[in-house]
Structure 1
Amino acid sequence: MRLLRSVLDRVFPDRASGGGAPPRLDLRLLVAAATGWVAVLIALRLPATLVLAWAGLAATSAVLLLRLGRQRELRVATTAALSCAAAALVLCATAGQLLARQAGPVRALAADRATVRVEAVVDTDPRPVAAAHTYGKSLVITKVSVREITGRGARSTPHTPVLVIGDDRWLPLHWHQRIAFAGRLQAAEPGDDVEAVIIPRGPPRVVGGAGPLLDGIERLRSDLRDATDGLPRDPRGLVPALVIGDTSRLPQELNDDMRATGMTHLNAVSGSNVTMVLLAAMWVAGWLRVRGRRRLVFAGVALLLFVLLCRPEPSVVRAAAMGAVGLVGLSTARRTAGAPALAAAVLALLVYDPWLAASYGFALSSLATAGLLFFARPWADRIARYLPHRLAPLAEAIAIPMAAQAMCAPVIVLLQGSVSLIGIPANVLAAPLVAPATLAGIVTVLVAPISTQLAYAPAWLAALPTWGIAWIAHTCARVPLGVLPWPDGALGALLLAGLTLVLLVGGVALLRLIWLRPYLAAAAALLGAAAWAPVPAFGWPPAGWVYVACDVGQGDGGVLATSPGHAVVVDAGPDPGPIAQCLDRLGVTVVDALVLTHFHADHVGGIDGVFRGRTVREIYSTPVHSAGPSSPGTHDARSGDEPSDEPLVQAALRKHGMTARSLQTGMQLHYLGLDARVLGPTRLIRAGSVQNNASVVLDVRSRGLRLLLTGDIEKEAGAAVLRALRAEADPEPVDVLKVPHHGSANQDPDLERAVHAPIAVISVGAGNDYGHPAPRTLDLLRDSNSTAFRTDRGGAIAIVARGGLPFVARP
């Protein structure tokens, strides 16, 4: 706490001065709130009874420390007592919610992957997940609260939140509708804000409405969409997103560009929306001559209606709380009330929903609000000194995004692995457009129920500034060097936080040095730019990696994570060196299994590299052999004249004292955190390349993702794999496709179209003589809405699981 005070005093020396300067901020409640936040973050992964015990210990410690502080007049003891009391409060709330969630049978049924019938209430509006598809249908997710569940012959009535991963038939659902459906349960990740994930079998059946009030609010949302139907594409999606957080029609390109420029807070309900609503409500109350406490009640009712309009989901409630705190903090009369208000808001939100502690959105909202409280107004005052008098009002518009960006940047690095240099200019340019767009949008909401035709006028008034916001996002996203790479993970966040602290403490001196010694500053900038190149190499492997396609040249070498230091290796590439180096960088010391999909040198030539410095426990291979005795259930392809490198494999196995077992279709491999099912080869295929079509095809599930690893199968084997996928009673979406045969043109196009994987990995060597990957294959992937990643461009490819969705990381 003293460190933060000293930083604030160093940056703004007039804070502590006498006269009209504001008094020191009391940060004790903020320390208490931070302590409670950390306590909840740890507690979410613990049993409820243990959390309750820790709550009791914290409460006892608070009492003892408070007595000690009073007896000896120790401020530190008082601060510690407040922190323990805050921890006890939020831990009690967390334990209660954990006990309520775990009381029903959902967790046990999910562990058994049981098929159940469910009645539930919709907690969040269904939304499509970009670039993720099941066979021919969009992937749609929503959260529901299970109110009745029947499974394993038993019926119960819990109150348990689950995540539904369905298709586009779930999109018409609205918040708080009661629905019935059947599906298969899966266990959620520890600490998730849901107890289970359910894959439904078919569309939901609506069995109950949301009630007259909520149905009326849904009509308001629908009327707003109708009123904006005639707008251009970007404003048509951005106006509802900006006003009520409805992103259902937001173009994906605009969403990506707003993310790249740090403007995503504008396409969701944020604290700035809430602040504008409160200011508008206070102005209307003043115009109606509502005074005193009635004015606050009027603003409170307006805020409640706005929250209902936007859906009282945790993210909206969070934005409402932070927006109110931001308004208090920016108020001249109550500037010192900002820090306690922020602390109270954080604690209240954690009591309301403890799972917010693990939410990046909650962290970003809290940090941005802290930036407004501590830095926005002093920075605005300093900036105004250097601006012409007529431009002085722009100082606050510049200071607010600067303060928010400075506080949020370390958390953004955890999400994106980069630092946005264009974010502050983009937000400064967009800031003047936000208020008119929001207010015109709210007028559209109020007018649309009366007449859609009358609502066109305010809708177009809202469209003009939102078109400007979209133009700023598109333009700034394409600025060269607008985004700089940065180490991801905790290392990158700590590095950026340290740099931010240095700039806060020494920023004024640094600006003075740049002004007085511009050549020295330019030299330092050039040295910094020259040193930037190696930065992206930090943080490899990325946290949470599931699969890595190693850069082994023209060949295949894949690694599936199991437990720390352990992995399953699928093929070894053409040479020992690259696969050995890849496994070393991944920290793999134990290979739980080595799977050789088929006996071609570009897949098995590097087998010695897998053994180098590692323990290999099991080895599996294709059942189609070309030399040596065939084991039961295998196919003998020796009659063909196609060359095979099986003798090379047998020699390596003899050297290491091991044997390989053949994988049969239908076999399953189980390791910690990984399940794999063998889909092929189903038979010996003489057409095409016997060895390529003999490739082992693995259907892998790991950490909530599904991966399809296809070896070098050609179109004949691809058709067989597609038949197996279509025969599934309840197909789940494939998240990652390892494209067959290095992207060769000789593959079944229907397989890529049916799988529709959002991520396609191509293991291929640069400048190869085969023309891999074929342009036709790349076009096919593009038409299937699959994004292709190639090892010949950028090296190894890591697939990372975050929130049950796949992401790509590169070294």
Structure 2
Amino acid sequence: MKVTSYPRTGVLDLRLVPAAVVTWAVTLAGLLGGWGVAAALAIAAVVLLPLVRARRIRRWRNGLLAVLVLAGITATGVGVRAHSTAVHPLHLAAQQGDRVEVRASLTSRPKPLRGASYGARRAQDRSVVQVRLRSVHVDGRRTAVGGRALLLVPTEPWRSLIAGQEVTATGRAVPPRGGELLTAAVQVGRAPEQVGPPPGWQRIAEDLREGLRSTSRTVLGPEAAGLLPGLVVGDTGLLPPEVVEQFETSGLTHLMAVSGANLAIVCGAVLLVLRVVGAGPVPCALGAGVAMAGFVVLAGPEPSVLRAAVMGAITLFALALGRERSALPTLAGSVIGLLLLAPGLATTAGFALSVAATAGLVLLAPGWSAALHARGVPVGLAEALAVPAAAHLVTAPLVAAISGQVSLVAVLANLLAGPLVAPATVLGVAATVVVPWCAPLAGALVWLAGPELEWVLAVARHSAAVPGAAVDWPSGVVGGTSLAVLALVLLIVLRGRIARLVLTSLVLVVVVVVIPVRHQVFPWPVPGWSLVACDVGQGDGLVLATGRDREAVVVDTGPDPAPMAECLRRLRIRSVPLVLLTHLHADHVGGISAVLSGRQVGAVAVGPLGEPAWAAREVRATARAHRTPVVPLRAGQRLRWPGLVLDVLGPRGALARSDSAEDANDASLVVKATTPAGRVLLTGDVALPGQAALLASGADLRAEVLKVPHHGSRFTTPRLLARVRPQLAVISVGAGNDYGHPSPLILGELQRMGARIHRTDQAGDIAVVPEGQGRAAVERGDPLRPDER
């Protein structure tokens, strides 16, 4: 009889780690390469098994055999799933772009998309929902099938649906993205049909979630009311966009996503109560299990929640119960089990982040905490420092690969915010549970969570405001890999005492000298700025100083709230007397909520054309929710502030009376702004017919600065450019856009005229400032260049 020996305390148990790594690698290869690659890997594992058995390797043979068996099982499972997906009727229909009708059960709630589609509907008007198929109707034939699909649906008619409901949807099938076991993505353009009732437990869970949202709105301020549901169940729908941006910059975004930490907090609170009342191990385990199951039901049975349940169990039972030796095998075993059951997790960022964060807590945090304690740091403080530092170090490469930036304040922000997240989460969960039976008690619990929420919000706000809080980093595989290599080198180097002293000195120099000096040499906002073209991607978002402190007029708001919110934060704008929307296309109005949230706004101004109608309704609804009036603007009107005058020049003629959505671009409000830096012509997306009407009107179009129409589209007449004769040309355009903006023809025409061209896709935010007798355009992060006059 063979007796298995377990590693002694302090020695890492790595036996399951190779199996987990191989399982993940094989799963990735099968998902990305298709069922043929998965089949080849399965065959290779079978071929290698007898070869390994025949070799006389006593120490490693059993382990290698186990890994090969697991690799074969994994490859076979992925191959079977991938082949089923490849021959699925819906997948074949997607290859042809056929219209289909599907009967399916929702596995998640519809989630609004972020961003925008150019010149069309804002992406927030479209939502995405994952479904499990029941049947597919293609080419007049209905087939009962299984499998999963993705539906792209209009937000409004699908908003109230929850997981578990069966629906019928009709739309055009298109191929899904690679690396996912989805049969197709179906573009649905109308409301769901034949909607079935949700399961009773799903209805109860949704009622509980809505109870938390409504109670939070009643008791707390808008920011805290949006944060509490985020901490409890990952629902950030009520959170203002500028707060989301602050959390991203300060490295606190993970607090608003359901993760193993949420489950550890809830189950830990239950265990604490049970232990206080003297419950034994079995009741404690049962109570924690019930709390975990209840939390999964409350948050919803989505893949991220189920993944968090496993990771929460690891954190709770392996770390909180002091079983450090079992933590790593449990993590590796959980990775293997999850990937065998749901191989699609292998390509998701959330799964990778969960595994990396947990590994950091297991591998690095205990050693770092012990080292700090050995140097005289109290145990509690040592753990508080080690845990966020370890989690941030191991997840930073993944975050950089996804977001293209690295937060330099994340460890400190998590250290300050972390201690109050747990009580706020526990109070929020308790309020959610009691709200159906005793609303006043739920309100009291939410009120008690208020101070903790305000502290977390303050930490995020002040951390994000630190100069250099986040630095840009290459995104994608190259950026993530390079940062991972750098982190590994640091871990190796820091094992030496001299290296630690050198690094500490360098960090102090950067914090005390480099960052403050850089902020003075490259100041932002530039003193005396008159106009800033915000880098909002493929859209327009401009800010005009009024001459009053921290006050500005905003012209268009970009396609998405987050970039606009960040631009206004960097400019320190607190008051906006007017938000002027040149026209109602998605790339000009999508970020309006960012402007209206968290600052004083006098009014929203729109042109005479209320098209597209969906956008007009949404703008008015958003303004009404923020108690901001919507006012019309027409040619001939003049608006004044101490340092700014706006003259509305267009639209003119028939375009001012049009009611056709096709005229939306040409019906753009055209405004000339008189600023200390000179005259600025703001043209929206006015195209050839609108430009012709403008030229025929005889209006004075001369301006020193031109916001080039329609992101530099080729549909700009040279006659307009000649009439304006700009010295500076500012083009608001998204990097790598699919529309060919800006046109080389327009760029060439502007260069021949002697205009200096500045583009947001190349420079980021662009400020126009008065300089001597002329003006200069200053790109964010660059020093003022007085030679540019």
Would you say 1:356 and 2:330 are equivalent positions?
no
Helix, strand or coil: the match of 2:115?
Answer: strand
User: Aligned match of 1:33 in 1, 7, 20?
Assistant: 20
Give distance in 2, aligned partners of 1:265 and 1:444: 22
| Alignment check: 8 A CA contact 1:177 1:208 kept | yes
How far is the alpha carbon of 1:208 from its aligned partner? Answer: 1.1
Would you say 1:122 and 2:106 are equivalent positions?
yes
Give distance in 2, aligned partners of 1:511 and 1:426: 28
Partner of 2:97: 113
Deviations 1:559-605 (A, max 9, x none): xxxxxxxxxxxxxxxxxxxxxxxxxxxxxxxxxxxxxxxxxxxxxxx
How far is the alpha carbon of 1:518 from its aligned partner? Answer: 5.1
Partner of 2:308: 319
Deviations 1:175-203 (A, max 9, x none): 11111221111111222242211111211
Would you say 1:224 and 2:212 are equivalent positions?
yes
| Alignment check: 8 A CA contact 1:179 1:207 kept | yes
Would you say 1:176 and 2:164 are equivalent positions?
yes
How far is the alpha carbon of 1:293 from its aligned partner? Answer: 3.4
Partner of 1:90: 74
What pairs up with 1:702-717 in 2 under 5 angstroms?
713-716=687-690
Helix, strand or coil: the match of 1:118?
Answer: strand
Partner of 1:620: none
Partner of 2:255: 266
User: Aligned match of 1:303 in 292, 297, 308?
Assistant: 292
How far is the alpha carbon of 1:521 from its aligned partner? Answer: 8.8
What pairs up with 1:245-394 in 2 under 5 angstroms?
245-287=234-276, 289-331=278-320, 333-386=322-375, 389=378, 392-394=379-381
Give distance in 2, aligned partners of 1:349 and 1:282: 26
Give distance in 1, aligned partners of 2:143 and 2:306: 30
How far is the alpha carbon of 1:472 from its aligned partner? Answer: 1.4
Would you say 1:494 and 2:468 are equivalent positions?
no
User: Aligned match of 2:57 in 72, 85, 92?
Assistant: 72
What pairs up with 1:617-632 in 2 under 5 angstroms?
none
How far is the alpha carbon of 1:713 from its aligned partner? Answer: 4.2
Give distance in 2, aligned partners of 1:520 and 1:283: 40
| Alignment check: 8 A CA contact 2:38 2:79 kept | yes
| Alignment check: 8 A CA contact 2:249 2:464 kept | yes
| Alignment check: 8 A CA contact 1:329 1:372 kept | no
Helix, strand or coil: the match of 1:45?
Answer: helix
What RMSD over aligned residues (CA atoms) do the two structures have, in Å?
Answer: 4.1
User: Aligned match of 1:135 in 97, 102, 121?
Assistant: 121
Would you say 1:42 and 2:29 are equivalent positions?
yes
Partner of 1:403: 390
| Alignment check: 8 A CA contact 1:104 1:156 kept | no
Give distance in 2, aligned partners of 1:162 and 1:520: 49
Taking a change above 3 Å as real, the CA distance of residues 527 and 303 of structure 1, as seen in their structure-2 partners, is closer
Would you say 1:740 and 2:720 are equivalent positions?
no
Counterpart residue identity of residue 68, structure 2: C
Give distance in 1, aligned partners of 2:449 and 2:294: 21
Give distance in 2, aligned partners of 1:746 and 1:194: 50
What pairs up with 1:434-513 in 2 under 5 angstroms?
434-509=421-496
Q: TM-score, normalised by structure 2?
A: 0.64
User: Aligned match of 1:165 in 152, 170, 189?
Assistant: 152
Partner of 1:215: 203
Partner of 1:9: none
Counterpart residue identity of residue 143, structure 1: Q
Taking a change above 3 Å as real, the CA distance of residues 477 and 522 of structure 1, as seen in their structure-2 partners, is closer
Taking a change above 3 Å as real, the CA distance of residues 505 and 516 of structure 1, as seen in their structure-2 partners, is closer
Counterpart residue identity of residue 209, structure 1: P
Deviates more, 1:183-192 or 1:281-290: 281-290
Percent identity (aligned): 29
Give distance in 1, aligned partners of 2:54 and 2:285: 38
Taking a change above 3 Å as real, the CA distance of residues 62 and 228 of structure 1, as seen in their structure-2 partners, is farther
Helix, strand or coil: the match of 1:281?
Answer: helix
Give distance in 2, aligned partners of 1:181 and 1:300: 38
| Alignment check: 8 A CA contact 1:131 1:758 kept | no
Taking a change above 3 Å as real, the CA distance of residues 154 and 770 of structure 1, as seen in their structure-2 partners, is farther
The count of residues paired between Structure 1 and Structure 2 equals 563
Taking a change above 3 Å as real, the CA distance of residues 202 and 290 of structure 1, as seen in their structure-2 partners, is same
Deviations 1:681-700 (A, max 9, x none): xxxxxxxxxxxxxxxxxxxx
| Alignment check: 8 A CA contact 1:329 1:373 kept | no
Counterpart residue identity of residue 340, structure 2: V
How far is the alpha carbon of 1:529 from its aligned partner? Answer: 13
Counterpart residue identity of residue 48, structure 1: W
Deviations 1:207-249 (A, max 9, x none): 2122222221221112111221222111111111110112222
Deviations 1:504-556 (A, max 9, x none): 1221425666279959995999999999xxxxxxxxxxxxxxxx99xxxxxxx
Give distance in 2, aligned partners of 1:743 and 1:309: 54
Give distance in 2, aligned partners of 1:529 and 1:503: 25
Deviations 1:604-633 (A, max 9, x none): xxxxxxxxxxxxxxxxxxxxxxxxxxxxxx
How far is the alpha carbon of 1:167 from its aligned partner? Answer: 2.2
How far is the alpha carbon of 1:67 from its aligned partner? Answer: 6.2
Counterpart residue identity of residue 92, structure 2: A
Helix, strand or coil: the match of 2:451?
Answer: helix
Give distance in 1, aligned partners of 2:270 and 2:212: 20
Helix, strand or coil: the match of 1:28?
Answer: coil
Helix, strand or coil: the match of 1:449?
Answer: coil
Counterpart residue identity of residue 105, structure 2: V
Helix, strand or coil: the match of 2:125?
Answer: strand
User: Aligned match of 2:182 in 180, 188, 194?
Assistant: 194
What pairs up with 1:584-623 in 2 under 5 angstroms?
none
Taking a change above 3 Å as real, the CA distance of residues 130 and 333 of structure 1, as seen in their structure-2 partners, is closer
Helix, strand or coil: the match of 1:147?
Answer: strand
Helix, strand or coil: the match of 1:405?
Answer: helix
Taking a change above 3 Å as real, the CA distance of residues 519 and 285 of structure 1, as seen in their structure-2 partners, is closer
Give distance in 2, aligned partners of 1:349 and 1:356: 8
Taking a change above 3 Å as real, the CA distance of residues 122 and 770 of structure 1, as seen in their structure-2 partners, is farther
Q: TM-score, normalised by structure 1?
A: 0.62
Partner of 2:679: none
How far is the alpha carbon of 1:435 from its aligned partner? Answer: 0.4
Q: Gaps (5+ residues) in structure 1? A: 1-15, 532-547, 550-709, 720-736, 748-756, 779-787, 796-809
Counterpart residue identity of residue 494, structure 2: G
How far is the alpha carbon of 1:63 from its aligned partner? Answer: 6.1
Give distance in 1, aligned partners of 2:506 and 2:201: 66
Give distance in 1, aligned partners of 2:75 and 2:111: 32
Give distance in 2, aligned partners of 1:341 and 1:83: 17
Counterpart residue identity of residue 77, structure 2: A
Give distance in 2, aligned partners of 1:338 and 1:316: 20
Deviations 1:147-171 (A, max 9, x none): 1221211111212222222222222
Taking a change above 3 Å as real, the CA distance of residues 224 and 66 of structure 1, as seen in their structure-2 partners, is farther
